[in-house]
Amino acid sequence: MPTCLPLVLRRCHTCASQRFRANGKFRVNANHKLLDVWLLVLCTACGATTKLTVLERMNVRSVRPELLDRLHDNDPGLAAELLQDPVVQRRSRIALDWDNAWRLDTGGSDHLDREVIDVSVRFTARIPVRPVRLIAEGCGLSRAEAGRLIAEGKLVSAVRLNSKLSDDFTFTLKR
């Protein structure tokens, strides 16, 4: 689950840094009946502000009132949703850096002493992470040991455990 908003990876035009911090602030601009909305992000090096386009030249009547209220209130939850939206990422030419922005909730450690563990992993947000990293952290293993268990066939899953994944998956660990 996420612990904070991820860093936005995009080149700063002022200082050539590559990282921006989103603080959940929006800029809403109305020009007659047309609306433009941007998510504001700040450069981590120089503090310059960059706008990420959320809505462009939308008719005011076509925007849901609840969404407009959330935009005016600078809802951080909405900022998190929009940062993960592939359309916003593609339009603004950004990528997200999730390092140190998520945590693993295992629900306790009573499962670690069992011989066979069947686990279902659910993501509360689309955070790309390697399943082998989650398994190692959740089961108290080193990454090398988790890799060895995969090679021995004692750690199995229907998905590739060594590539990045952001969808729910299951795995079985045999000790």
The per-residue DSSP string of 47-105 comes to --EEEEEEEEEEEGGGS-HHHHHHHHTT-HHHHHHHHT-HHHHHHHT-EEE-TTSB---
Per residue of the chain (175 residues), what is the pLDDT tens digit? 888 889 999 999 999 899 999 988 999 999 889 999 999 999 999 999 999 999 999 999 999 999 999 999 999 889 989 998 999 999 999 999 988 878 877 766 666 667 888 888 888 888 888 888 888 888 888 989 988 999 999 989 899 988 888 889 888 888 7
Distance (Å, whole) CA 68 – CA 92: 20
Distance (Å, whole) CA 62 – CA 35: 10
Q: What is the pTM assigned to this prediction?
A: 0.74
Q: Return the pLDDT at 8.
A: 94
